[in-house]
Amino acid sequence: MNITPQITGAEPALALLNALGPSARAATQLWANAVGEHTQRAMRTRLPERFHLRGTAAQFSKAIVFQRARSVQTGDTMRQIQAVLKVGSDSVKGTATANLGRLLARYEESDARTSDAHFRMANGKSFSAGFYLPANGIRTNQKNPARALYPTSIGAQIRIDAGGKLTYAKGTKGSVKKGTKVSYFATPKGIFRRRDTVFGKADAQAIWWFAKRVRTPARLELWVTAQLVFDRFSMQYAEDALDLVVERTG
């Protein structure tokens, strides 16, 4: 999956470059590459400012991909590769670029998503609950929820073990030595954690809430950034490309 920009206002720059006649193609490639690389840098810079990244900025930056325009000789044929700026990848193999791009694409344009993911209750019965969203205090601006609290880690959702087998993790964790036990249980409303001590059972605490439908806001404005870069710098890059081609061709 990828999202591509809808850049407007390219006509003046293209008209300037097309005036070169036979050399217009070379100049257009230089211009497209300069604008594309500048836009890619700007989008990567602004991304951490608009999105709380679940990972590092460097990882998510890889999802903003620019393919340079170039000419490729294949036998007797000269093939033209177009410049392409996009978020994500067309790969269906689940590459890191494709996966990160798919996540970012959700926040480029507002969208509503639904889910019928299944979870397991304490009695062993499975039910459709949808998305699981962290309860208050489970996720903060400084850290994400601990992996040990995810539904697949506490036995509420099926997972694939190291041997490729579908199985459930045990839903009880604790230490006999310390005299405490932590258990988890799922209800149609969410997943809860309960601590048992030598003094009896403590109150249950919500760690995940279920939701069949979630709405992701448009917050990245990646293509707004792309358009701003284009509006400000495209003509200058076109003039630079023209000067360089004229200097090369004499």
The model's pLDDT over 169-190, given as tens digits with 9 standing for 90+, comes to 776 555 544 556 788 889 999 9
**Band of pLDDT at residue 2, cut at 50, 70 and 90:** very low
Place of tokens 């998305």: 131
Query: Could you tell me which residue, 196 or 31, shows the higher pLDDT?
Result: 31
Residue 89 has pLDDT above 80, yes or no: no
Rg (CA), the chain: 26
Strand-pairing partners, residue 132, are 210
Query: Could you tell me which residue, 149 or 110, shows the higher pLDDT?
Result: 149
**Band of pLDDT at residue 109, cut at 50, 70 and 90:** confident
Residue 107 has pLDDT above 80, yes or no: no
* Tens-place pLDDT, residues 209-242: 999 998 877 778 888 898 899 999 999 999 999 9
Q: How far apart are CA 240 and CA 250, in angstroms?
A: 15
Residue 54 has pLDDT above 60, yes or no: no
Q: How far apart are CA 43 and CA 27, in angstroms?
A: 24
* Tens-place pLDDT, residues 140-160: 766 778 888 899 888 888 887
Both tokens assigned to 16? 């300037």
**Band of pLDDT at residue 75, cut at 50, 70 and 90:** confident
Q: Is the dihedral of CA 214, 215, 217, 222 positive or negative?
A: positive
Residue 41 has pLDDT above 60, yes or no: yes
Q: How far apart are CA 106 and CA 177, in angstroms?
A: 46
Statement: the pTM of the whole predicted model exceeds 0.95: no
Strand-pairing partners, residue 160, are 166
Predicted confidence at residue 180, as pLDDT, reads: 65
Task: Check residue 226 and report its DSSP letter.
Answer: H
Q: How far apart are CA 78 and CA 71, in angstroms?
A: 6
Helical (H) or strand (E) element with 211: strand 205-211
Instruction: Give Cα separations from 25 to 28, 32, 152 (angstroms).
Output: 5, 10, 54
Predicted confidence at residue 1, as pLDDT, reads: 36
Predicted confidence at residue 172, as pLDDT, reads: 59
